[in-house]
């Protein structure tokens, strides 16, 4: 019974309640998900402060400043290529979004650290918040012209209702695809790592010839860790890039 619990590959995604808090029948419990989210927020805020403050508080300030500035310039160039000079106002948002997602993904690679982005509740709420914000900005910038997104010019009147319905559905689905892409990639990769690691450990415990054969899944595990680290970085980039694409479609489509 105990071994089944230890080697359950899905236990790493369980949300555990640390401090139960309820008010007016509403649950505000402090969980491992909310705790890590708060800690990462303060950690990134501290790193930003160290990097961009005029006071040299730490010897590592130069290291953070060089790396964060490089990432900022990269997204500034990427935004300029897709949104033009008007899109520079969104660079701080996109830059911060990438840093936060990257931190969550890489922290999830550390054993026994909860992976926030492996939960659809987090990725969906993040995608929905950005989706609502983008559309509010689109209404502010383009006013009634924003509706042109659902009805391209030159469409015959007879198929207009059907086309609007199709465009509306495909537009709303973007929220789900954005959330599910990050969620599935992080969940599937971490599950595979846990399965291979558990299999290697079981073989080591068997002793004898199995201990020697256990080195093969260990080598595979190392390769998978390198692959999953790359995926963690790539998924943070893809999520941010898709936000840039959505901004381009919604804000500057006339």
Per-residue pLDDT tens over the stretch 56-107: 555 555 555 566 778 888 888 888 888 877 778 888 888 889 988 998 888 8
pLDDT per position as a tens digit, 34-52: 888 888 888 888 777 766 6
In which element (H, E) is residue 77 found?
Answer: helix 61-83
Distances 241 to 37, 112, 138, 234, 246 between C-alpha atoms, Å = 22, 30, 18, 10, 9
pLDDT of residue 157: 67
User: Mean pLDDT of all residues in the chain?
Assistant: 77
Mean pLDDT of 179-193: 85
Query: Residue 22: beta bridge partners?
Result: 27
pLDDT of amino acid 237: 92
Residues 6 or more apart whose Cβ sits within 8 Å of residue 116: 33, 36, 37, 40, 104, 107, 108, 122
Name the token pair of 202: 């079981």
Task: pLDDT band for 54, please (50, 70, 90 cuts).
Answer: low
Please give the backbone phi and psi of residue 60, each rounded to the nearest 5 degrees, phi first.
Answer: -85, 0
Highest mean pLDDT among 13-27, 64-78, 149-163: 64-78
10 pLDDT tier (thresholds 50, 70, 90): low
Crossing angle of helices 215-251/120-142, nearest 10°? 20
For the ranges 11-20, 57-66, 124-133, the lowest mean pLDDT is seen at 57-66
Within 8 A by CB and 6+ apart from 202, the residues are 7
Alpha carbons 99 and 145: distance in angstroms, whole number: 33
Q: Are 65 and 58 in contact (CB under 8 A)?
A: no
Residue 7, pLDDT > 80, answer: no
227: pLDDT strictly greater than 80: yes
Domain boundaries, given as residue ranges, for the chain: 2-251
**pLDDT level of residue 1 (50, 70, 90 thresholds):** very low
Looking at residue 162, what is its pLDDT?
Answer: 76
- Band the pLDDT of 146: cuts 50, 70, 90: low
Contacts of 208 (CB under 8 A, 6+ apart): none
How big, in percent rounded to 5, are the helix, strand and coil portions of the chain?
A: 80, 5, 20
Identify whether the C-beta of residue 91 lies closer than 8 Å to the C-beta of residue 73: no
* pLDDT higher than threshold 80 for residue 224: yes
User: Could you tell me what percent of the chain has a pLDDT over 70?
Assistant: 74
Cβ burial of 176 (10 Å; 0-12, 13-18, 19+) is: middle
Give residue 2's pLDDT band: very low, low, confident or very high (50, 70, 90). Answer: very low
Q: Which residue, among 89, 100, 109, has the nearest Cα to 48 in the 3D structure?
A: 100
Residues in Cβ contact with 194 at an 8 Å cutoff, skipping those fewer than 6 apart:
7, 9, 12
Most confidently modeled range among 23-27, 121-125, 136-140: 121-125
More confident residue, 201 or 119: 119
Please say whether the dihedral angle defined by the alpha carbons of residues 226, 227, 228 and 232, taken in this order, is positive or negative: positive
């Amino acid at each position: 019974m105990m071994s089944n619990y230890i080697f359950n590959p899905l236990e790493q995604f369980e949300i555990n309640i640390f401090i139960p808090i309820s008010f007016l029948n509403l649950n505000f419990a402090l969980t491992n998900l909310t705790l890590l989210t708060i800690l990462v927020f303060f950690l990134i805020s501290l790193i930003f402060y160290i990097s961009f403050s005029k006071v040299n508080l730490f010897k590592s300030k130069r290291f953070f400043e060089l790396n964060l500035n490089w990432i900022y310039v990269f997204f500034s160039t990427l935004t300029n290529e897709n949104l033009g000079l008007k899109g520079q106002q969104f660079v701080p948002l996109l830059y911060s979004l990438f840093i936060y997602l990257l931190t969550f993904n890489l922290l999830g690679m550390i054993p026994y650290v909860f992976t926030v982005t492996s939960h659809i509740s987090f990725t969906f709420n993040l995608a929905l918040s950005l989706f609502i914000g983008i559309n509010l900005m689109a209404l502010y910038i383009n006013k009634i012209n924003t509706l042109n997104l659902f009805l391209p010019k030159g469409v015959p009147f007879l198929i207009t209702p059907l086309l609007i319905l199709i465009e509306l559905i495909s537009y709303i689905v973007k929220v789900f695809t954005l959330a599910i892409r990050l969620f599935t990639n992080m969940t599937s990769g971490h599950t595979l790592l846990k399965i291979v690691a558990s299999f290697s450990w079981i073989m080591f415990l068997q002793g004898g010839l199995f201990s020697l054969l256990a080195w093969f899944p260990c080598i595979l595990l190392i390769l998978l860790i390198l692959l999953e680290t790359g995926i963690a970085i790539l998924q943070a980039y893809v999520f941010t890039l898709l936000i840039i694409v959505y901004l381009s479609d919604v804000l500057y489509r006339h």
